[in-house]
Chains A and B, each alone.
Chain A
Amino acid sequence: DGGITQSPKYLFRKEGQNVTLSCEQNLNHDAMYWYRQDPGQGLRLIYYSQIVNDFQKGDIAEGYSVSREKKESFPLTVTSAQKNPTAFYLCASSIVGNTEAFFGQGTRLTVV
């Protein structure tokens, strides 16, 4: 089955620890995205990548880092510098420009 997979679905971490969220797609899409969603909020773009080994900051990149070493994978690291990391994180992929985005199931991160 083609699709986009995020793991894990739920993640708990202690404050001050870095944590990496996984996102893998087998849709052969060039573009991948990370969004953050808080309760009652829309989708805020953290980082996006249009091609392997290249990525751009979105609107709320501070405290986050990404890598794009493979076309299929776009992991997001939530660093200890992120002041309020508890949120629902969504990964998406698409053919670049003018096409629909496919979303993963999301990872709900809780930092205590």
Chain B
Amino acid sequence: GQQVMQIPQYQHVQEGEDFTTYCNSSTTLSNIQWYKQRPGGHPVFLIQLVKSGEVKKQKRLTFQFGEAKKNSSLHITATQTTDVGTYFCAGWGGSTLGRLYFGRGTQLTVWP
């Protein structure tokens, strides 16, 4: 069945370093979404990418959607302690309509 795989599972960085998490789907996605979950909190929507090859930026965060619409990445430039949390990718589509497939998430720790 449909799977959304995300790597790495954990990432520890020094404040100021960059961070990237990667997401891959076994099938073509109609779109890709990214969520952030702060420790003890719930996932909060960050952004949605729809077009093949799309790139979007939110301040220090850069999101990309692959040309084949099967992979995506989130890059954070110059991490800050406020970036701590788990970042999830999620995609609609595949064999079961109406279902949102989540990756396992990348847990980011930022050392001051």
Contacts and interface: CB of A to CB of B under 8 A. Distances in A.
Contacts of A103: 42-44
A34 B76 CA distance: 29
Contacts of A48: 98-99
A104 interface: yes
Contacts of A97: 30, 92, 97-98
B42 A105 contact: yes
Contacts of A92: 43, 100
Interface string B1-12: 000001001000
A84 B6 CA distance: 25
Interface stretch (B14-22, B56-64, B102-110): B102-110
Contact of A45 (B43, B97, B99, B104): B99
A48 B99 CA distance: 8
B45 interface: yes
Nearest to B45: A100
A21 interface: no
Interface in B44-82: 44-45, 48, 50
Nearest to A103: B42
Interface of B: 6, 9, 30-31, 33, 35, 41-45, 48, 50, 88, 90, 92, 96-100, 102-105, 107
Interface of A: 31, 33, 35, 40-43, 45, 48, 50, 56, 58, 90, 92, 94, 96-106
